[in-house]
Amino acid sequence: MTAPLAGIRVLEVGTMLAGPYATLLLADLGAEVIKIEPPAGDISRQVGDTYFASLNRGKRSVCLDLNDASGQQRLGELAAESHALLVNLKPSAINRLGLTYAALRRWNERLVCVAVTGFGLDAGDHPAFDYIIQAATGVAALTGDPTGPPTLPGYSAADNSTGLTAALGLLAQIVSGRGGQVEVSLRDVMLSQLNYHAAAYLNTGTEPQRRPFGAHSYYVPAQLFPTADGYLALFITHDGFWKSFAGEAGIKGFTTMAERVARRADILEAVTTALADDTADGWEQRLRPLGVPAAAVRTLPEALEAAADVAVTAGRHRLIGSPIRIGGYRPRYGPPPQLGEHGDRPSSRAGT
């Protein structure tokens, strides 16, 4: 099957994670991604080979100094032959280097320019790294035990989420058939992902609470529970799930969601007591055949061992493959590019 994005060329002026992750997803679907790097390269090359490879496999690297006239000329020439440009830099750098639709439309009226920033193109250069955004948008305040400090989730949730959103915005504008400027900010993305929490506050003034074991605000029981060995994630969202779980766990009553919400403390005590009779793995094996949403808490190595099919080979690296699976299409995962490997004039190709 021809790659879904075969024939689409995307320029990337990206650093670290959010921008490169967006174009990685597009490259996996067959787009030709040209990574425009400064003479010193994307700073993520300094983090480590596996870090860089995880975000840049299958791309092409072109070295341009966008601070001089010749670099700007080549940027324009590449823009004339491309469908989109995605950039994640400070707003002042994006504007100064001419990485906007307003600056590049003279080369290509149909070019889609996507700016990934912390707070918006017109919001200034406030530091906007992933963990800063998680702190600034309420995500950290919602995470962790209520008796302890705010907690970060341990991976780059804001950058990854913003990369996904930027890829969607880029494709949406390409499909429209029009060029133009697209903006995606880390702040807006993370506030959007707090959807039902934000809606409750905006409409009723209800502030979200940080609950023990990451308990859900609306569903009960829906959280982590200690067991005889390990922790179990249980997510009971309707009465049918509860009936199946309660029957297996030997718990009587609490038959409706309304009752379970009203008697949160009582039901959590009953569930915690019942789950202490078996291990997390044991409960998962007992509940899964019943269709009850439950999973033992695993480490990343354990999770990868249980999902060996997600790992792919890209050059000399083992990486996680594309999460988008399309019937009849299998991505071809190329290696990450060497700095400037493709000079300043990459040859055309029709996807992968």
Q: What is residue 80's predicted lDDT score, i.e. its pLDDT?
A: 98
Q: Are residues 183 and 271 in the same domain?
A: no
CATH code of the domain covering residue 279: 3.30.1540.10
Q: Is residue 335 part of a domain?
A: no
Q: Is residue 329 part of a domain?
A: no
275 is in which domain, residue-wise?
Answer: 212-226+231-296
The partner residues of 185 in beta bridges, in order of sequence, read 117
Q: Per-residue pLDDT tens for 65-108? A: 999 999 999 999 999 999 999 999 999 999 999 999 999 999 99
Distance CA 264, CA 258 (A): 10
Number of Cα atoms under 13 Å in the Cβ half of residue 343: 4
Q: Is residue 1 part of a domain?
A: no
Contact predicate 231/302, CB 8 Å: no
Q: What is residue 352's predicted lDDT score, i.e. its pLDDT?
A: 32
Count Cβ atoms within 10 A of the Cβ of residue 198 and give its class: 0-12 exposed, 13-18 middle, 19 or more buried. Answer: middle
Q: What is residue 343's predicted lDDT score, i.e. its pLDDT?
A: 86
Q: Are residues 120 and 219 in the same domain?
A: no
Distance CA 152, CA 300 (A): 17
Dihedral of alpha carbons 340, 345, 351, 352, sign: negative
CATH code of the domain covering residue 117: 3.40.50.10540
Catalytic residue among 65, 159, 188, 281: 159
- The total number of structural domains in the chain stands at 2
Q: Are residues 173 and 61 in the same domain?
A: yes
Q: Are residues 169 and 43 in the same domain?
A: yes
Which regions in the chain score pLDDT beneath 50? 346-352
pTM listed for this prediction: 0.92
Q: Per-residue pLDDT tens for 52-67? A: 999 999 999 999 999 9
Q: What is residue 107's predicted lDDT score, i.e. its pLDDT?
A: 98
Q: What is residue 348's predicted lDDT score, i.e. its pLDDT?
A: 44
Q: Are residues 140 and 102 in the same domain?
A: yes
Q: Is residue 302 part of a domain?
A: no
Q: Are residues 154 and 284 in the same domain?
A: no
How is the chain split among helix, strand and coil, in percent rounded to 5? Answer: 40, 15, 45
Active site residue 159: yes
Q: Are residues 268 and 313 in the same domain?
A: no
